[in-house]
Every structure is written in structure tokens, then in C-alpha cells.
Amino acid sequence: MRTGLALTLRATQVAGTTAAVVLPALAVGLLQRVRYGPPAGRRHVNRRLVALLMALGPTFVKAGQVLGTRRDLLPRALCDELSLLQDSVEPLDAAQTAVALAEAYGADVAAVFAELDARPVASGSVASVYRGRLHTGQDVAVKLRRPGIERVMAQDLALMRAGAALMARLPMFRGLPVNEVVANMSGAVLGQLDFEREADNLRRLRKNLSEVPRVWVPKVYPEACRPRCIVMEFIPDLAVNTAESCSAAARKRFAASGMAAMYQMLFVDGFVHCDMHPGNLYFTRAAQVVVLDAGFSVQLTDRLRRLFAEFFMNMAIGRGVYAAEIVIQSAERVAADADLPGFTERMADLVVRSHGQSAQEFSLMAFAMEMFDLMRRFGIHAAPELIFPLLSLLVIEGAIRALDPDMDFQEAAKPQLMRGLFGEGGIHGR
């Protein structure tokens, strides 16, 4: 009964906040549409929708971040605005930290840690991170889950699923996988609460990426971990601007290692870190690439991993019809009235045009955006397991371009593509 009442109160709060933001946004958007044209009206509404998600709290922010990757379904302009969402939450204070530690360790805090600084070194909506030291002498980073965050997220996601069920019945959403998209989004958000799985993900990434030179994934200390806390190697002096003060040669090494790590995940291992934004990707003065926070990771099936590799290979050599056929094969759903020959023709043209570009001219982002526009127009809905890794590749493109403007993304992929398709790591070697 108390759970039902809490959900009702939260639903009332969400509905009130939504109405207070959306109704004025639509009115102003209509005025801007009349005065400045349709793009201006849409831009205003999209920005107010992003402001609404931030006002509704961390669950809605994370949901918006995940939904912003679905460029095969949502308008590009809305996805661009959703990509700007920031997970900005006040760090836990001393009292909240004490509660979180008690929930994670009970009376065993002193038995696990020789030292633990109560001031967070980083903070997000799900957890705060602290610096500590184990009794064995290792300096560690302690990722501690916020008290009560599970209840808040469970309530909010229940409301989102109910809203999706209603939307799916509306004529304008027929033919779109509304329930499936929201269910997948819910799984991605809730997955970031599963610290035992995240610790396992870090161990897997550390093992898989040990094959890539100059890539560092922190070691996890399982004996110190708990279901509400991950304890891992502390990596000192991490800063998002380290690369800016390094030599051009070092920056090129950063770029090469970063892309090698990404391609190793995509084409060889099939286990992909899907959140490689600058807050999870760092560079050290020793020319190492540091990968953090594996809570949002996806395991591709062998079939999808191979299809992804084959698509990238055909894209790289300009075989457009084959690339289009792979997009169709890998789709989660194809609309009953989809014009597959029309899609194949336009997709093949996109591949051929891109193949003719130089390394400096070619943009993964521009290619993917045009491909997603085609998929949306022709009713081809991609499997989420492929969308998330692809968007991770697009996220890292900007960072790599800043490090090495001459990076040839297609040429750099060939070693891992060959391994993934034909070598020890590929399906024939398993």
C-alpha cells in the first residue's frame, strides 16, 4: 500500500512538472515556428524537453541519455539535444556517506579499509567515488552507491513503462517499437545499479584490452567489493585535459591506442563499453589510455559481432549493396510496408560516396546520421545491441579527431577486422 501511494505521489509530481514545462514550451514553440520557421520552433521545444528531464531528476536524465542514442527512431535534432544532458548531482555529504558505507559494509568498514577519505573525488547520480587504502597497502578508488537510489529509479522507470504502454496505443506511434525501446532503456539504466555486474565488466575489459598496447583498465579488488560498492585500483592525476599539453607524437599514440581498444571490443571480443565519453576515457602523461566505469556495457552475440564487422568491412571497401543487406539482416524489426529496394539503393549510394572521401573528409558521425535517417524513413529499426556500440564509436570519434586530425578510421580498423572475421578472435577461431 505504501509503495502504491509513493508511486501515485511521484506520478502526480511528474505529471505536474511535465505540464508546467511542456505546455508553455509548445505555445512558445508555435510562436517561434510562425515567426522564424519550423526549425526554430522544434529547437525550442526540444530544448525545453531536455530541461524537463533535468528537472525530473537523475533517472530521467539517464533515460534521456540512453534514448538519445536511438537515432534510428528519434529525430536527429532531438537526439542532438539529448546528447547534451549532463549527469550533474551534488556529491554525498558526510552524513550520507556514513549511511552509504553502513549499507554496503555494516560494521566491517575498518576491517576492509586502512584509510578512507570521506570527501568524494567524483560524483554522479548513482554513486560517489572516494579515495582509500586497503590494509595490504594498495591505494584504491571506492565507488559507493547512493542510499535510496534503487527505490527512486524503480519508481520512475515504472512510470516510464506505463507511459510507453499508453503511447504505443496511439495511432501516431503504431509500427514503432515503443515498448521495446523503453524496456531496453530501462534495462540499460537499471544495469548501472548492478555493481557486481559492473565489477565483472571491468575484469573482462581489463583482460580483453590487455592485448592492446598502452591501454589501462583499473584492477578490481573483489575481496573488498560488496553489492553496493566497487573497489578498484586508484589511478592518480587523471584529468580530461592531459592530452592538450602533450606532444603531437604522444597525441597520435593516444589516438591509435584509443581506436585500437574500441575496435578490439567491437570486432574481436564483442564485449563493448558503450559509454566512452571524456569522463570515462582519460590519457596519462606516460602515453597510456585509461578506460573507466563499465556499468553500461553490451555483449554482442557472435552473429551480431560478425555482422557488425562485415558491415564495417564492406563500408571500408565501398561495397554498398552488401552493407545495406547487412543492415536489413541485423534489424530488430522491419516495417510491413518497408521499401527494401529503395533503402538498399540509397544506402549503397551513401557507402559509395563515403568510400570516395579522403581520411580527413570522412566522418563516422556524418555517415551514421545519414544512415539512421534512411533507416527511420524506410522503417528499419536496428537492434539495440548494435545501436549502443555504434554510438560509442561515434562518441569517441570527436576525441580521436582532436588528437589526430589525420586518423584514417577505416584503415586503422583493419587489424582487428581481420582478426574478428578470419583470425583467432573471429567466429571461425571459436
Q: Are 58 and 184 in contact (CB under 8 A)?
A: no
Rg (CA), the chain: 23
* Amino acid, single-letter form, for residue 205: L
Rounded Cα distance between 60 and 51, Å, is 11
Mode of pairing for the β-strands spanning 271-273 and 127-134? unpaired
Residues catalogued as catalytic: 275
Rounded Cα distance between 285 and 312, Å, is 32
